[in-house]
Structure 1
Amino acid sequence: MPLPGIGELKQIMQQARQRFDLPEREYQESPRLLEAALGLSTSEAQLAFARAITEKGRLTEAEIPLIVGEKEQVIRKSGHLEYFHPKARLDDIGGLDRLKAWLQRRNQAFSEEAREFGLEAPRGVLLLGLPGTGKSLAAKAVANAWQLPLLRLDMGRIYGGIVGQSEENMRRALHMAETLSPCILWVDEIEKALSGMKSSGSTDGGTTARVLGSFLTWLQEKQKPVFVVATANHIEHLPPELLRKGRVDEIFFVDLPVEADRVEILKIHLRARGRRDEDFSEEELRKLARQAQCFTGAELEEVVKEALFRAFDDGRQLRQTDLADAIAETTPLSQTMHELIRDTRDWARGVQLQPAAQLLKNCRLTRRVQKLRGCGRKGKTHS
């Protein structure tokens, strides 16, 4: 039997009101409250509404966290999805202006007015880039901005030891996400879960390929408003089927922050730790940002933490020199992964790199063809 929909949950809510003789002023049939109960069975919804009335004495939108808490227990029992309570906002992300603008334009895309206007629910987005550049933070921030449940698909829990268990676990997880829709499904570092694709058929009996096939088919054919946010660090490990248009709406390459973005990131982490904007001048922050060239957002956060430890250990307030010393003692990830950054940037620009030997061979062939053509114009023939 399918789980109850909005109409059935409304009836269960009305029955709970009659059972406890709830006054009209303490009762509110809110669409948000009913959507918060999606994914609960009939008995679970009855218990959730009854608990809200007995503990709070009312059944309104203020009880949404309590209903969500009951739903979180159900999701935890499934074992394949993890429910997140994100606190991050889009303003907490330094830079990524195009991504934030794209997400803000789709803020009301799941509403009834959007469907009446003729808009389809957004399908999803794929974020590519170095670790620590804010991809996972963006997934949490969009869930908070859109006020939608954030479900994390743990691909490590999908794979099982019994034949056919992995495919069934994937189908159950995707069905649970559709049941809780509208929601956001977060698949973090998806390329690591699909790392066995190239050897699937000879090492795992094709399990990885079948799991990926189920996921890709669902991405293409899904009708429920489930917005997928997938993140990846290595573009070369992703199967080309995932990058095809139609699986997701857009693919964003998250590069290293530029100087203006680094200044904004430093301000965000300083504010988050009780420091005011007046504590450091704009010129001081720009000087620190220039010193922290090629630093990721996560590395800048660690710089602020280390500087605070230095100041606290000396028993004084934070200074610019503390931040500068922390930057000088930090080796950014970009120094050890410069080849990956170069190749990923070239891929984002649409440039297909060739190995040096192949380039040299092509140059030799070109020169030889040019020589043959030059000789041919003089009336000579060549075999």
Structure 2
Amino acid sequence: MAGQRKLAEKSGPVDPELLDAAVRGALGLSSGEAVRVLRRACAASGKLDAAAVAEIVRDKRRALRRTPALGFHDAEEGLGEVGGLGELKRWLSERRRAFGEEARRFGLPSPRGLLLLGVQGCGKSLCAKAVASEWQFPLLRLDLAAAFGSSLRSPEAAMREASQVAESIAPAVLWIDEIEKGFAAAETDARSSRVFGSFLTWLAEKRAPVFVVATANDVTRLPPELLRRGRFDELFFVDLPSQRERAEILAIHLRKHHRDPLQFRLEELAASAERLTGAELEQAVVAALHVAFATEREVTSDDIANALTQTVPLYETYEERIKELRDWARTRARSASLDSRMADFFA
């Protein structure tokens, strides 16, 4: 491609893999910007090496700041760092190779995206980040509040610019967190309605492989048009974790803090943590570590058990809302969990 030739001309003979990495890193920049970024990146060593590629990516992030509604995020944790949600993970795994030419020759379209609906703190946003990491795609976050709040351009222009940049960087994951908040006024506000309409059009007609992962906590605030089949490939419901999933989540966070999960009574702890979200389980592990550190000893299962006991579940505050969400999802969404209890719930 032309971008590769320009990069090669400016940097001299280079390793093809490094060249490909540099080109991917510069996606979304104009040819002139890419050349300038490469020149700065190679200034230290005089050649295109791994450090120069990293600098290209950093420069692109700085350039993306000119697009107020779009941010470039690190995606370090893969799906292995997400507890539970086995059905969602399987669905994503099946589509991992569906973005290349081999898939096109097979007759497959590029996956469009998914909508994750569910209880707060149960891993929806973490999944969006994990998808990008697992597929090794850039992770872009669309900030709808910034699009509507920009003083430099209209919301329509901000959204148009964001979608164009996302397509220029593709293949990429575009994450829209709590999408219902951004488009809640689409039915009553003319400006919001126009922006929402243009977003739906882009979602339906985009040709570049931009995989959209939108999350939502409150289905009652979602415009009905967004839920129509064809907008997203699938709508998944993310519920409170089952006992098996709670044990898995506790193990993940213990490993993250350099502890061996086998040294803890995970099944017992998971059984005592019914109705806790993944975020609440994580905070219980952190709280237990604080107690152990303050008393100059190693953390124990009892420390975690005490932290779990002291946690007031989100469920206690939003029980009715969560039940309503489950009722809505029973016939309209696919369970993200493979757990038998959840499978029975959605049967």
TM-score normalised over the length of structure 1: 0.82
- Which letter does structure 1 place at the counterpart of 2:204? Q
Contact 1:158–1:170 (Cα < 8 Å) also in 2: yes
In 1: Cα distance, 2:38 partner to 2:178 partner: 37
Q: CA deviation at 1:130?
A: 1.0
Query: Using CA pairs below 8 Å that are at least 6 residues apart, which structure has the higher relative contact order?
Result: 2
Q: In structure 1, which of residues 201, 207, 227 is the aligned counterpart of residue 211 of structure 2?
A: 227
- Where 1:242 maps in the other structure, the secondary structure is helix
Which of residues 129, 134, 146 in structure 2 aligns to 1:157? 146
For the pair 1:15 / 2:9, whether they are aligned, the reply is yes
Taking the aligned partners of 1:90 and 1:62, their CA distance within structure 2 comes to 27
Uncovered stretches (5+) of structure 1, i.e. residues with no partner: 1-6, 201-205, 352-383
C-alpha RMSD over aligned residues: 1.9
Structure with max Cα Rg: 1
Q: Is the 8 A contact 2:41 2:53 kept in 1?
A: no
Aligned to 1:338: 319
Which residue of structure 1 lines up, in the alignment, with residue 335 of structure 2?
A: none
Residues 334-370 of structure 1: CA distance to partner in whole angstroms, max 9, x if unpaired?
Answer: 111111111111111128xxxxxxxxxxxxxxxxxxx
Separation in structure 2 between the aligned mates of residue 67 and residue 91 of structure 1, nearest angstrom: 28
**Aligned mates of 1:176, 1:159 — CA distance in 2:** 18
State the SS of the aligned residue for 2:202: helix
Match of 1:203 in 2: none
Question: Bigger CA drift: 171-180 or 246-255?
Answer: 171-180
Range 63-72 or range 332-341, more displaced: 63-72
Structure 1 counterpart of 2:175, from 166, 169, 186: 186
Structure 2 counterpart of 1:291, one-letter code: S
- The offset of 1:116, in angstroms, is 2.3
CA distance in 2, matches of 1:123, 1:186: 12
Give yes or no for contact 2:120–2:217 (8 Å, CA) kept in 1. yes
Residue aligning to 1:369? none
| In 2, Cα distance between equivalents of 1:25 and 1:307 | 51
- Residue aligning to 1:307: 288
Structure 2: tracts of 5 or more residues without a match = 333-347
1:60 CA displacement: 5.5
Corresponding residue of 1:59: 48
Residue 214 of structure 1 aligns with which residue? 198
Aligned counterpart, 1:272 = 256
Structure 2: distance between partners of 1:318 and 1:226: 44
Which of 27, 30, 37 is the equivalent residue of 1:41? Answer: 30
**TM-score when normalising by structure 2:** 0.91
Deviation at residue 112 of structure 1 after TM alignment: 2.3
How far off its partner does 1:26 sit? 5.0
Closer, same or farther: CA 87–101 of 1 in aligned 2, 3 Å: same
Partner Cα distance (1:71, 1:306) in 2: 38
Structure 1 contact 183–225 (Cα < 8 Å) conserved:
yes
Counterpart residue identity of residue 199, structure 2:
F
> Residue 62 of structure 1: CA displacement?
6.6
CA deviations over 1:239-289 (Å, ceiling 9, x no partner): 110001111100000000000000000000011101113321xxx211111
1:150·1:185 contact (CA, 8 Å) conserved in 2? yes
User: Does the CA contact (< 8 Å) of 1:26 and 1:58 recur in 2?
Assistant: no
Contact 1:10 1:29 in 2 (8 A): no
1:322 aligns with 2:322: no
Partner AA of 1:293 in structure 2: E
What CA distance in whole angstroms lies between the structure 2 residues aligned with 1:176 and 1:143? 17
Runs of 4+ off more than 6 Å: 161-164
- Tell me, yes or no, if the aligned pair for 2:8 and 2:14 is still in contact at 8 Å: no
User: How far apart, in 1, do the equivalents of 2:128 and 2:15 lie?
Assistant: 35
Match in the other structure for 1:364: none
Q: Which moved more, 1:285-294 or 1:25-34?
A: 25-34
Contact residue 82 and residue 249 of structure 2 kept, 8 A: yes
How far does residue 125 in structure 1 lie from its aligned partner after superposition? Answer: 0.5
Is the alpha carbon distance of 1:161 and 1:29 closer, same or farther for their aligned partners in structure 2, counting shifts above 3 Å? Answer: closer
User: Does 55-64 or 332-341 show the bigger shift?
Assistant: 55-64
Which amino acid in structure 1 is aligned with residue 196 of structure 2?
A: L
Alpha-carbon offset, residue 29 of structure 1: 7.0
Q: How far off its partner does 1:50 sit?
A: 1.9
Structure 1 residues 121-160: aligned runs within 5 Å:
121-160=110-149
Q: Secondary structure in 2 aligned to 1:186? A: strand
Amino acid paired to 2:141: R
Matched, 1:293 2:274: yes
Percentage of identical aligned residues = 46
SS at match of 2:276: coil
AA aligned opposite 1:188 = D
Matches of 2:275 and 2:197 in 1, distance apart? 37
CA gap of 1:164–1:67, structure 2 versus 1, over 3 A, is closer
Give, as a single letter, the amino acid of the residue that structure 2 aligns with 1:115: R
In 2: Cα distance, 1:161 partner to 1:123 partner: 28
